[in-house]
């Protein structure tokens, strides 16, 4: 399992479309283009045309803690005098105790020194304030490809664009950093509950496919074993809060330093996964999977996703890439029509999957008193449920059942 320590910063038309319109994508062998960018300037390690694997580090940067040293205050002089007394220049490597600035007094009187409080690198010397900005405790940020394929564009110092073919499954919310690991299953059914007994040391470092719910004890067990990422249909909010160490107040995620990374495909509570998406992932067990859990539920929307790359993209040239966004944006409620496969996302029937049976005109009065445009959805067993049109999401996932 590889972990990428950067803040993910790529968006695709599919991402934006997947939230702006209520649809969820699950597709096998989809040709994708992904932009991978560092959050700060760094170094790109691959070139255009290179073949990369999901775990390939395509760029890296050094991020350190910035420590300002107030030379003026330490020497008890004004800013301009302090600036003139500084001995080091940007880029200089200093050690703890090393003089950063020195005042020359009169025969040893009224002089003074300002020493570095830590080991680090001088990033800046302010001519206005006399402050020296030190970068200490530098941490290497590594940006993984997440998608296996070819590098088609290099953004100098920032990252690359990659084109490749992969099974793509979108989630609804995720937490944790980016992970690449072998895809494995801990359950055999899309509606199973993942309990702690089903998680063993053989799952360490892997991207683990769960069912309808992952329990709190299973999350703790997964953390102890070292599971890389968990994919689940549902999770209880209290258990997620325990994993995070705090409540999830707003769905803007991806910065959390937790283990394992979690991608939720259904919602909160016990929510069976889409059986088609579950089957798609099951067919790719053993393959390297890239997981990006970052979620942003607002303008500029972003959903978490699981990418299971195909071993070979067949050398597909960049300019033959279709507009993925066109397919992913098929999920607008305005486009609801009989025969479409949908998931019910209102609280009452959350997670139930059915087929649009009808779109009655006008507004329907629901039991809570609200009057909304409605949709009739036929669910397994033959029953027809009437729900607000806003309470369904399209499932864009081809299957063998003719849907």
139 binds other proteins (CB under 8 A): no
- The least distance separating other proteins from the CB of residue 271, rounded to whole angstroms, comes to 9
Rounded Cα distance between 203 and 289, Å, is 14
Residue 200, classed as helix, strand or coil, is coil
C-alpha span between 203 and 230 (Å, rounded)? 10
Fill in the per-residue mask, 183 to 222: x = in contact with other proteins (CB under 8 A), - = not in contact. ----------------------------------------
Indicate the residue among 178 and 393 with the shorter CB distance to other proteins: 393
Find where tokens 């990418």 sit.
307
- Tokens, residue 58: 């395509």
List 90, 300, 360, 403, residue binding other proteins (CB under 8 A): 300
> To the nearest 5 percent, what fractions of the chain are helix, strand and coil?
15, 40, 40
Shortest Å, Cβ 45 to other proteins? 21
Q: What SS3 state is found at 246? A: coil
Please, what is the minimum distance in Å from the beta carbon of residue 325 to other proteins?
5
Q: CA-to-CA distance for 356 and 394, rounded, in angstroms?
A: 10
Among the listed residues 190, 236, 197, 245, the one whose alpha carbon sits nearest the alpha carbon of residue 214:
236
Under the criterion CB under 8 A, does residue 250 sit at the interface with other proteins? yes
* Alpha carbon separation from 61 to 42, 64, 115, 141, 385 (Å, rounded): 4, 10, 28, 5, 53
Backbone torsions φ then ψ of 146, nearest 5 degrees: 70, -35
**Which of 48, 66, 95, 359 is close enough to bind other proteins by CB under 8 A?**
66
Window 34-63: residues binding other proteins (CB under 8 A): 39-40
Residue 363 near other proteins by CB under 8 A: no
For other proteins, what does the binding mask look like between residues 320 and 359, x meaning CB under 8 A?
A: ---x-xx--x--x-x----------xxxx-x---------
Q: Please give the size of the binding site for other proteins, defined by CB under 8 A.
A: 64
The dihedral over CA atoms of 171, 172, 176, 177, expressed in degrees to the nearest 10, equals 50
Q: Which of 369/381 has CB closer to other proteins?
A: 369
CB of 259 to other proteins, least distance (A): 21
Q: Does 372 bind other proteins (CB under 8 A)?
A: yes
From the CB of 248, what's the least distance to other proteins, in Å? 6
CB 26 to other proteins: min, Å: 17
DSSP-derived secondary structure letter, 389: G
**Residues ≥6 apart with Cβ < 8 Å to 400:** none
**CA angle in degrees (0–180, nearest 5) for 216-218-224:** 110
Q: How many CA atoms lie within 13 A of 152 on its CB side?
A: 19
Among 197, 202, 237, 312, binds other proteins (CB under 8 A): 237
Chain positions contacting other proteins, by CB under 8 A: 13, 16-17, 20-22, 39-40, 65-68, 72, 79, 124, 126-129, 131, 133, 172-173, 236-238, 240, 247-251, 255, 267-269, 295, 297-300, 323, 325-326, 329, 332, 334, 345-348, 350, 366-372, 387-388, 390-391, 393
């Amino acid at each position: 399992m590889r972990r990428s320590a950067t803040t993910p910063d790529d968006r695709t038309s599919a991402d934006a479309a997947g939230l702006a319109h209520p649809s969820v994508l699950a597709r096998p062998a989809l040709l994708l283009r992904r932009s991978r960018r560092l959050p700060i300037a760094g170094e790109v390690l691959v070139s255009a045309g290179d073949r990369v694997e999901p775990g390939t580090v395509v760029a890296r940067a050094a991020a350190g803690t910035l420590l300002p040293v107030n030379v003026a205050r330490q020497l008890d002089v004004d800013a301009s005098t302090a600036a003139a007394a500084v001995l080091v220049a940007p880029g200089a490597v200093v050690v703890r105790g090393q003089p950063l600035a020195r005042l020359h007094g009169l025969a040893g009187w009224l002089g003074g020194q300002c020493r570095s409080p830590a080991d680090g690198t001088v990033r800046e010397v302010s001519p206005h304030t006399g402050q020296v900005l030190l970068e200490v405790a530098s941490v290497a940020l590594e940006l993984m490809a997440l998608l296996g394929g070819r590098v088609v564009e290099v953004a100098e110092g920032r990252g690359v664009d990659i084109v490749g073919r992969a099974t793509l499954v979108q989630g609804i919310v995720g937490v944790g950093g980016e992970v690449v690991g072998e895809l494995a299953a801990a359950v055999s059914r899309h509606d199973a509950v993942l309990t702690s007994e089903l998680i063993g040391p053989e799952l360490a470092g892997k991207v683990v496919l769960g069912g309808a719910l992952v329990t709190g004890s299973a999350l703790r067990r997964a953390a102890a074993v070292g599971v890389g990422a968990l994919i689940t249909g549902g999770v209880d909010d209290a258990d997620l809060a325990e994993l995070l160490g705090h409540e999830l107040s707003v769905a803007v995620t991806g910065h959390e330093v937790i283990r394992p990374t979690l991608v939720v495909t259904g919602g909160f509570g016990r929510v069976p996964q889409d059986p088609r998406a579950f089957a798609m992932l099951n067919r790719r067990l053993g393959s390297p999977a890239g997981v990006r859990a970052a979620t942003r539920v607002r303008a500029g929307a972003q959903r978490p996703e699981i990418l299971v790359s195909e071993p070979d993209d067949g050398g597909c040239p960049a300019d033959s890439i279709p507009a993925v966004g066109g397919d992913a944006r098929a999920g607008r409620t305005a486009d609801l029509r009989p025969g479409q496969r949908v998931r019910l996302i209102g609280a009452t029937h959350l997670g139930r999957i059915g087929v649009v049976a009808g779109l009655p005109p006008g507004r329907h009065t629901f039991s809570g008193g609200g009057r909304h445009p409605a949709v009739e959805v036929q669910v397994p067993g033959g029953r027809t449920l009437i729900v607000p049109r806003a309470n369904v999401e399209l499932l864009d996932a081809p299957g063998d059942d003719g849907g």
